[in-house]
Chains A and B, each alone.
Chain A
Amino acid sequence: MLRSFGSVLRRDIVVTGKDLVAFLAQVLLQPVFFLFVFGKLLTSLGYTSSGYSDLLFPGLVALTATVTAIQAMAFPLVAEFSWTKEIEDRLLAPLPLWAVAAEKVVFATLRALVASAVMFPIGIGVLGSIPYRADGLGLLIGVLLLGSLVGACIGMTIGTFVPPTKINIAFALIFTPLLFTGATQYPWPSLAHLRWFQVLSAANPITYVSEGMRAALVPNIPHIPGWVCLLALAGSLALFGTLGMIGFRHRAID
Chain B
Amino acid sequence: MEVRELVKRYPKAQTDAVDRLTFAVASGEIFGLLGPNGAGKSTTIGVLTTRVRPTAGQALIANVDVMVAPQTVRSLLGVVPQRNNLDRSLSVRQNLLFHAAYHGVPKAVRTRRAEELLEQFALTDRANEKPELFSGGQNQRMMIARTLMHDPSVLFLDEPTTGLDPAARLFVWDRIRELRASGVTIVLTTHDMDEAAALADRVGIVDSGRLLALDTPAALVRGLATGASLQVTVEPVGELGVAGLLDRLGTLAGVQRCEQIATEAAAQSIRLYLTGEAAAMVAPVAAAVAEVGGRLIGMKICEASLEDVFIDLTGRSLR
Give me the interface of A with B, judged by CB distance under 8 Å: 3-4, 7-8, 10-11, 14-15, 18, 84-86, 88-96, 252-254
5 further A-B contacts with Cβ under 8 Å, apart from A18-B89, A95-B102, A254-B53, are A84-B88, A89-B146, A253-B50, A253-B52, A254-B46
- A97 closest partner in B (C-beta): B70
- B78 closest partner in A (C-beta): A92
**Cα A145 to Cα B106 with chains together (Å):** 33
A38 to chain B, nearest CB (A): 36
Instruction: Pick from B51, B75, B104 the residue with the most CB of A within 10 Å.
Output: B104
**Cα A207 to Cα B74 with chains together (Å):** 42
- B17 closest partner in A (C-beta): A254
B10 / chain A contacts, CB cutoff of 8 Å: 254
Interface residue B83 (Cβ < 8 Å from any Cβ of A): yes
Chain B contacts with A in 104-125, Cβ cutoff 8 A: 104
Q: Judging by beta carbons under 8 Å apart, are A10 and B89 in contact?
A: no
Q: Judging by beta carbons under 8 Å apart, are B85 and A90 in contact?
A: no
Give me the interface of B with A, judged by CB distance under 8 Å: 10, 46, 49-53, 71-72, 74-75, 77, 79, 81, 83-90, 94, 98-99, 101-104, 146
**Cα A57 to Cα B84 with chains together (Å):** 45
Q: Judging by beta carbons under 8 Å apart, are B51 and A89 in contact?
A: no
Q: Judging by beta carbons under 8 Å apart, are A254 and B51 in contact?
A: yes
**Cα A61 to Cα B89 with chains together (Å):** 29
B159 to chain A, nearest CB (A): 15
Q: Judging by beta carbons under 8 Å apart, are B101 and A10 in contact?
A: yes
- B43 closest partner in A (C-beta): A254
Q: Which of B72, B88, B104, B146 contacts A4 (CB 8 A)?
A: B104
Instruction: Pick from A7, A86, A94, A95 the residue with the most CB of B within 10 Å.
Output: A94
B102 / chain A contacts, CB cutoff of 8 Å: 4, 7-8, 89-90, 93-95
Q: Judging by beta carbons under 8 Å apart, are A88 and B85 in contact?
A: yes
Q: Judging by beta carbons under 8 Å apart, are B104 and A254 in contact?
A: no
Query: Can you list 20 residue pairs at the A/B interface with Cβ under 8 Å?
Result: A4-B103, A4-B104, A10-B101, A11-B87, A11-B90, A11-B98, A11-B101, A14-B90, A85-B84, A86-B87, A89-B87, A92-B49, A92-B77, A92-B79, A94-B74, A94-B75, A95-B74, A253-B53, A254-B52, A254-B53
Q: Judging by beta carbons under 8 Å apart, are A94 and B71 in contact?
A: yes
Q: Which of A10, A85, A96, A254 contacts B71 (CB 8 A)?
A: A96
**Cα A96 to Cα B74 with chains together (Å):** 10
B90 / chain A contacts, CB cutoff of 8 Å: 11, 14-15
Q: Judging by beta carbons under 8 Å apart, are B53 and A85 in contact?
A: no
The 3 closest A-B pairs by CB, nearest first: A7-B101, A85-B85, A93-B102
B101 / chain A contacts, CB cutoff of 8 Å: 3-4, 7, 10-11
B248 to chain A, nearest CB (A): 59
- A85 closest partner in B (C-beta): B85
B236 to chain A, nearest CB (A): 62
B46 / chain A contacts, CB cutoff of 8 Å: 254
B50 / chain A contacts, CB cutoff of 8 Å: 92, 253
A8 to chain B, nearest CB (A): 6
Q: Judging by beta carbons under 8 Å apart, are B74 and A93 in contact?
A: yes
Q: Judging by beta carbons under 8 Å apart, are A3 and B104 in contact?
A: yes
B71 / chain A contacts, CB cutoff of 8 Å: 94-96
**Cα A86 to Cα B84 with chains together (Å):** 9
Q: Judging by beta carbons under 8 Å apart, are B85 and A84 in contact?
A: yes
- B98 closest partner in A (C-beta): A11
Q: Judging by beta carbons under 8 Å apart, are A85 and B51 in contact?
A: no
A94 / chain B contacts, CB cutoff of 8 Å: 71-72, 74-75, 102-104
A89 / chain B contacts, CB cutoff of 8 Å: 85, 87, 98-99, 102, 146
**Cα A4 to Cα B89 with chains together (Å):** 19
**Cα A110 to Cα B99 with chains together (Å):** 23
**Cα A98 to Cα B146 with chains together (Å):** 24
CB-CB under 8 A for A92 and B104, given A11-B98, A84-B88: no
- B106 closest partner in A (C-beta): A3
B128 to chain A, nearest CB (A): 13
**Cα A95 to Cα B50 with chains together (Å):** 12
A13 to chain B, nearest CB (A): 12
B271 to chain A, nearest CB (A): 45
B104 / chain A contacts, CB cutoff of 8 Å: 3-4, 7, 94
**Cα A92 to Cα B101 with chains together (Å):** 12
Q: Judging by beta carbons under 8 Å apart, are B99 and A253 in contact?
A: no
**Cα A169 to Cα B223 with chains together (Å):** 58
Instruction: Pick from A10, A85, A89, A252 the residue with the most CB of B within 10 Å.
Output: A89
CB-CB under 8 A for A92 and B51, given A3-B104, A254-B10: yes
B86 / chain A contacts, CB cutoff of 8 Å: 86
B88 / chain A contacts, CB cutoff of 8 Å: 84, 86
